[in-house]
Amino acid sequence: MRRSLAYVDGLVVGYLLLSGLILVPEGERGGVYAWTLAAHLMASVGIVGLGRREPRSVLGRTVREMYPLLLLLVFYLEVDLLARILHPLPGYDSLVRSWDAWLFGGHPHDTLALWLDGRLWREVFHLLYVSYYLLLIGSYLGVWLTAPERLPRFAFVVTGMFMSFLAVFVAFPVAGPLTAPDVSIMTNGWFPQLVAWVYVPLQVNGIATGAFPSSHVGLSVGIACLLAPRRWTWRYLLWGLVGGIAVSTTYGRFHYAIDAVAGLVAGGLLYLLWTTLYTALRKREASTVRPAPAARSL
């Protein structure tokens, strides 16, 4: 597993170092930027160290194979920090809202919840929104437990796609509808309250980016392509879930509708990009491995 995760290691360390360069000017002033920069450097050293030696304990192997998933969640939390260094607030919400109005003739995030009003609809769509996290974590764990030979490709593609979205968020910050003063998050219902419990603390700190394109939708597309269940019933259910996640991001006003559409397109394109790159790397690796010399007969 150590050799097979080397490509993931390279992706993660590369992201840590490149994003660390953004932090350097601010890090010299101390505070949260300095701590984040130090964390990047320590994580890079740790990942390189993990890649050079095969963990012998069960705990060590588990950390080795699960760390990409854990770091993805951490990376998402710091993307606002990076975007605020490069861009003055507000970001490009007004531009994306104009695209949204041009494409749909209005703003579906303002009207969808009114069309589908009622407790049942709120519960269903917020459950679908939460299901993205279950899909991301559950699919990674499922591949790790049941098909470990597929984990290197799965981890590489998911990590590459996720980091691609983060790069866009930093370069093109869009906060989304919930940052508007006249828009509030839904709290009436069990699942809406669950989502609000996670989302409201982020609003208090001031969300600056992460809306366009929707990484929820894009990564769901990539995971569906990676899993590719053989049975058509499971395929319909999986892609139905992807569609439900896309609608839920707009229903709950977490994203503009155009964010979800862009996420669908970006998800497909990034899946092709990272799977093609992984295949090319594996072919290159195979071509450089010399066959063992044949034993001479006596």
Nearest to 90 by CA among 181, 184, 185: 181
CA end-to-end span of the chain, whole Å?
A: 37
pLDDT in tens, 37-67: 888 889 888 888 877 776 677 887 888 888 8
Average confidence (pLDDT) over 250-254:
92
Residues 6+ apart with CB under 8 A from 26: 33, 34, 85
Rounded to whole angstroms, the Cα distance separating 27 from 25 reads: 6
CA-to-CA distance for 174 and 166, rounded, in angstroms?
12
Q: Is the pLDDT at 20 greater than 50, yes or no?
A: yes
- Quote the mean pLDDT of the chain: 87
How many whole angstroms separate alpha carbon 82 and alpha carbon 16? 12
Q: Is the pLDDT of residue 263 over 90?
A: yes
The pair of structure tokens assigned to 275 is 């799977």
Q: Which whole number is the average pLDDT over 154-183?
A: 90
C-beta of residue 5 within 8 angstroms of C-beta of residue 64 = yes
Mean pLDDT over residues 257-267, rounded? 97
The pLDDT of residue 103 is 95
* Cα gap 132→142, rounded to integer Å: 15
Lowest pLDDT segment from 119-128, 200-209, 240-249: 200-209
The pLDDT of residue 297 is above 70? no
Res. 200: pLDDT tops 80: no
Long-range pairs for 177-180 at CB < 8 Å and ≥24 separation?
177/107, 177/109, 177/110, 177/253, 177/254, 177/255, 177/256, 178/203, 178/207, 178/253, 178/254, 179/90, 179/93, 179/203, 179/206, 179/207, 180/93
Q: At residue 267, does pLDDT exceed 50?
A: yes
**In whole angstroms, what is the distance from residue 191 CA to residue 130 CA?**
8
Burial track 33-48 (b if 16+ CB lie within 10 A, e otherwise): beebbeebeebbeebe
What are residue 175's phi and psi, to 5 degrees?
A: -85, -35
| Residue 168, pLDDT above cutoff 50 | yes
For the cut 50, the answer to whether the pLDDT of residue 298 exceeds it is no
| E-strand stretches of the chain | none
DSSP assignment of 214-271 equals: -HHHHHHHHHHHHH--SSHHHHHHHHHHHHHHHHHHHHTTSS-HHHHHHHHHHHHHHH
